[in-house]
Amino acid sequence: MLTTETLTSYHKQSSIKLFQAAKKVIPGGVTANIKNFAPYPIFMKQAHGSKLIDEDNESYIDYSLCYGALITGHGHKRIINKAQEYLTHSGTMIFGTPHALEIELAKRIITLYNGIEQVRFTNSGTEAVILAMRLAVAHTNKNKIAKFEGHYHGGINNMLASINPSKDNAGDEERPNAVFESNGIPEDERENTIVLPFNNLNATETILRENADDLAAVILEPIQGGFIPAQTEFLHGLKKLTDELNIVLIFDEVKTGFRVALGGAQSIYNIKPDLTTLGKVLGGGLPVGAVGGRKDIMMLSAASQDGDVFSVGSKSEKTAGTVFHSGTYNGHPLVMAIGLETLDMLEEHTQMASLFSQTMHLRKSLEKMYASYNIKMQTIGMGSIFNIVFTDQPIHSYRDMWKADIELRQEIDRELLSLGIYLKPLNRYSMSTVHSLADIKFTVKAHEQALNKILNKHNKKQS
């Protein structure tokens, strides 16, 4: 059982003071709920390569990497130079008009992603999901959206359902309840969300057929949480079903895009989803999102001069017939420039292969170390992202994670924070192109130190 001692295994005086100050002016002390964790989040002030430096000048090897966004690490010289080059050349942060870099990055995405024929840019993965769902509703003239239990698609009203439902509320394994995990969601939006069981094709098919007349889209992470892969037969069966039932299939590849393969999970599974959402890596550390997919669906958002919602005297019947999508910062030229530079770096010879090799080396080294202590542990993931799960049982869905020793994982993660390894407790590991063999060796040693400290603590309690 977690104790107060465990929760305070790290002591960061400056972070404590800053967190108390933040709570006076920011609700809960953080500007994104995901950044908070017990007993308090650690405040950082600098970062270089694979390292973070906190307000107490202590260094960490970073495996969060802004929740996977920084695939080339912190402050890569080429990224910094590209930003300076863009600003010097353009003379401004943003034009507020169309520009050539939008076209260039859209073309690159289309080249890499099998299921993408046209692209629209947004400012986040959440915004991309909002647009994808709106397009699906317009295309099908149906209102409901189906998502899978355990999958996260951003802070959107109807998507904040069954991300981490408890055993008491989750319902039947083959017919999960829609458990909403935020206040402030209108009842009518709750009624338009259907929850499906991941990696269970038979049960999913039953629910889809029952609701086919109302379902506009099925959205999923092809690799749940970035680390639990879909079974190949499941995804191909799902694609066949959605095609048959006139349901738009949306792959949320915000986490997996460019991380499990340059062409995302869809290139690995050889599936063309109707729509794809991207983010994180695509911005190279700057805010970005994108929606891409079939031309006939994407063209529903095409602007027309006589149907412009912002123009006085526009024809409202044409405005109503267009899927509205706008945003002051959409296609921000600095973001596009950094995105292109990031993809240039990833497409260089052996870059991705080396990144994946380093990731697997870390995974196997950790598994070997824990096995030497007879601890049941496995790493699960694909490409450059994975998670550590303390069980030897197969993990194919959210509910399978209930088999794992979550308390041990939390204890390990909090001890690691005191040993110079940064990761929000229980989160997945993301690797970068700048993590070194020395980083990996240090990380494995830190895990062993953390494990020994926890084992010794438990032994003392039992004696």
d(CA 433, CA 438): 13
Q: Do 408 and 388 meet the contact criterion of CB atoms below 8 Å apart?
A: no
449 lies in the same domain as 317: no
What range does the domain containing 155 cover? Answer: 77-346
End-of-domain residue from the set 316, 346, 376: 346
404 lies in the same domain as 338: no
Q: Per the residue annotation, which of 12, 82, 272, 280 is the catalytic one?
A: 280
Angle at 292 between CA 290 and CA 295, to 5 degrees: 145
End-of-domain residue from the set 346, 371, 399: 346
Q: Do 345 and 81 meet the contact criterion of CB atoms below 8 Å apart?
A: no
Does the annotation count 252 as an active-site position? yes
Query: What is the share, in percent, of the chain residues with pLDDT greater than 70?
Result: 96
Residue 276's pLDDT band (boundaries 50, 70, 90)? very high
d(CA 274, CA 260): 20
115 lies in the same domain as 222: yes
Q: What is the mean pLDDT of the chain?
A: 95
316 lies in the same domain as 210: yes
DSSP codes joined into one string, 254-288? TTTBTTTBTTHHHHHHT---SEEEEEGGGGTTS--
Q: Per the residue annotation, which of 54, 252, 274, 400 is the catalytic one?
A: 252
- Domains in the chain: how many in total? 2
Burial of 220 (0-12, 13-18, 19+ CB in 10 A): buried
Helical axes 406-418 vs 437-462, angle rounded to 10°: 120
Q: Do 279 and 226 meet the contact criterion of CB atoms below 8 Å apart?
A: no
Which residues are registered as beta bridge partners of 51? 48, 61
d(CA 150, CA 144): 19
40 lies in the same domain as 130: no
Whole-number pLDDT of residue 8: 60
User: Among 195, 115, 205, 185, which residue's Cα sits nearest to residue 150?
Assistant: 195
- CATH code, 141: 3.40.640.10
- Widest pairwise Cα distance in the chain: 82
Torsion of CA 367, 37, 21, 155, to 10 degrees: 120
Burial of 24 (0-12, 13-18, 19+ CB in 10 A): exposed
Q: Which whole number is the average pLDDT over 119-130?
A: 98
Amino acid letter, residue 231 = Q
Whole-number pLDDT of residue 315: 67
| Token pair for 173 | 């394994």
268 lies in the same domain as 367: no
Whole-number pLDDT of residue 38: 92
- CATH code, 418: 3.90.1150.10
66 lies in the same domain as 206: no
| Confidence check: pLDDT of 25 > 60 | yes
Does the annotation count 368 as an active-site position? no
d(CA 134, CA 118): 16
DSSP codes joined into one string, 300-353? GG---GGG-TTSTT--HHHHHTS-----TTTT-HHHHHHHHHHHHHHTSTTHHH
Query: For 424-456, how does the pLDDT look when each residue is reduced to its tens digit (9 = 90+)?
Result: 999 999 999 999 999 999 999 999 999 999 999
User: Among 299, 252, 256, 254, which residue's Cα sits nearest to residue 275?
Assistant: 252
d(CA 428, CA 390): 13
3-state secondary structure of 403: helix
Q: Per the residue annotation, which of 86, 152, 269, 398 is the catalytic one?
A: 152
128 lies in the same domain as 261: yes
Whole-number pLDDT of residue 1: 41
End-of-domain residue from the set 346, 373, 395: 346
Query: For 47-73, how does the pLDDT look when each residue is reduced to its tens digit (9 = 90+)?
Result: 999 999 999 999 999 999 999 999 999
Does the annotation count 280 as an active-site position? yes
| Token pair for 75 | 């402050």
E strand or H helix at 145, and its extent? strand 144-148
